[in-house]
Amino acid sequence: MIYSDEGQLKTTYAADMVIFPLAQDRTLFAILMLLAFVGIPALALAGIPPFHADYIFKAILTPFLILSLAALGLNILVGYCGQISLGAGAFMAVGAYAAFNFASRIPELPVLIAILLGGGVAAAVGVCFGVPSLRIKGLYLAVATLAAQFFFDWLFLRVRWFTQDSPSGSVSAPKLNVFGWHADSAVERYLLVLSIIVVLAALAKNLVRSDIGRQWMAVRDMDLAAEIIGIRPVRAKLTAFAVSSFIIGVAGALWAFVNLGSWEPSTFSIDRSLQILFMVIVGGLGSILGCFLGAAFVLLLPIMLDIVPGALGMPLSTDTVSNMTMFLFGALIVFFLVVEPHGLARLWVILKEKLKIWPFPY
C-alpha cells in the first residue's frame, strides 16, 4: 500500500522515461543521496561512532565506491554488451599509470583532469583490445582479454618509462588538488570519490537507456538480428569497450590516487579482475544498481563476517575466523546465485514487484 503506482499517471513520454518512474523510488533515492553527501560527513564531524574514525572512510566507504565504479564499467561491457572480459584489472592499471604519468610529467595539470585523461587512455587501449571481439565470442574472447591482463602486468613491471624508473614499479600519486581544493582528510577524499561516481553513474545510466544502450543489448541478445535492423556490431562493440574501459580506467586512477596513494603493478593483478567480475555477476548483469549491490556484497560481507564472532563473544582465534569467513562467503555466493541467477539487483526488482501488489499475491 505504501509502495504503489496508484494515482501516478504519466501524461508525457518524458515523464514515462525518467529513471525512477515511482515517486516512492525518487524519495528513497533523494534520502540516500542526502545521507551519503550530508549525513555521513556530518556524523563524522560530530564524532559519532563508527563514523568518528578515519577507518570507516579509508577502509570501507572509499574502496566500496571505487570498486563499484569499476564494476559499473565492467558491467557495461559484460552485462549490457555481452562481451566477456577478464581484463578489468589491466584497464584499471592503464588508467592509474596513465593518470600518474600525466600528473607527474605535466605538474600544472589539475589532478581531476589527469584522472579523466587516464580514463581516456584506458578507453583507447580498451578499443584496441576490443578489436578481437569482432571475430571471436564468448570464452575465446575471455582468453583474449586475459592476454591484456598479463600484457599490462608485464608492461608496468618491466618498462621503466611508465613508472619513471622507480625500482620495483612502485609509484606515488601527487597531492589531491582539485581546482584549489585539497582533498587531504579521509572524509574529503570520500566526498571527492562520491561526487565523481554519482556523475559517472548518472551518465552511464543515461547511455544504457538511450539508443547506444539498446544497440549494446541488441548485440548481446542476437547480433544477426541487430545487424538486419541497421545496427553495426563493430560500432556497438567498440563503443562498449571504450565506455567500459573509460569508466574502469577512472576507477583505477581513483583507486591509485585516492585510496592507495602509492602502488605497484601487482595492485591490479588478475585477482582484481576476478574480484570485479564476481561483483558484476553477484550484483546482476545488466543493472547499474547491481554494480553497487555486488560491490557491497563482495567487499563488505567479509568484513562483517569477520566482526560477528568477536561481537558474539565467541572465543575463536583470528586464523579460524578468517578461514570461516572465506568458507561462509563462498557458501553465500553459491546460495545467492542458486536463489537468483540474475543477481541481487533482480531480487530487488522482484521485491518491488511484490510490494506493489501487496497484500495481494498477484
Q: Which residues bind to another protein, rule: CB under 8 A? A: 13-14, 17, 203-204, 206-207, 209-212, 214-215, 217-218, 220-222, 224-232, 239, 243, 286
Q: For residues 133 and 149, which CB has a smaller minimum distance to another protein in the complex? A: 133
Q: How far is the CB of 199 from another protein (least distance, A)?
A: 10
Q: For residues 227 and 340, which CB has a smaller minimum distance to another protein in the complex? A: 227
Q: How far is the CB of 362 from another protein (least distance, A)?
A: 14
Q: How far is the CB of 123 from another protein (least distance, A)?
A: 11
At 177, phi and psi to the nearest 5? -115, 100
Torsion-angle region of residue 286: left (phi > 0), alpha (psi -120 to 50) or beta? left
Q: How far is the CB of 225 from another protein (least distance, A)?
A: 4
HSE, side-chain direction, 13 A CA sphere, residue 28: 10
Strands annotated E in the chain: 171-172, 177-178, 181-182, 262-263
Contacts of 60 (CB under 8 A, 6+ apart): 299, 300, 303
What CA–CA distance (Å, rounded) separates 291 from 289?
A: 5
Angle at 354 between CA 348 and CA 358, to 5 degrees: 140
What CA–CA distance (Å, rounded) separates 90 from 138?
A: 19
What CA–CA distance (Å, rounded) separates 174 from 100?
A: 8
How far, in whole angstroms, is CA 294 from its chain's centroid? 9
What CA–CA distance (Å, rounded) separates 17 from 13?
A: 6
Q: How far is the CB of 58 from another protein (least distance, A)?
A: 31
At 108, phi and psi to the nearest 5? -75, -15
Q: How far is the CB of 156 from another protein (least distance, A)?
A: 29
Q: How far is the CB of 220 from another protein (least distance, A)?
A: 7
Q: For residues 233 and 302, which CB has a smaller minimum distance to another protein in the complex? A: 233
What CA–CA distance (Å, rounded) separates 165 from 201?
A: 36
What CA–CA distance (Å, rounded) separates 134 from 334?
A: 33
Q: For residues 137 and 214, which CB has a smaller minimum distance to another protein in the complex? A: 214
Closest of 360, 104, 122, 63 to residue 247, by C-alpha: 122
Q: For residues 17 and 31, which CB has a smaller minimum distance to another protein in the complex? A: 17
What CA–CA distance (Å, rounded) separates 31 from 73?
A: 25
Q: For residues 64 and 216, which CB has a smaller minimum distance to another protein in the complex? A: 216
Q: For residues 225 and 334, which CB has a smaller minimum distance to another protein in the complex? A: 225
Reported as type and span, the H/E element at residue 281 is: helix 270-283
Q: For residues 226 and 280, which CB has a smaller minimum distance to another protein in the complex? A: 226
Q: How far is the CB of 238 from another protein (least distance, A)?
A: 11
Angle at 203 between CA 342 and CA 102, to 5 degrees: 110
Q: How far is the CB of 30 from another protein (least distance, A)?
A: 19
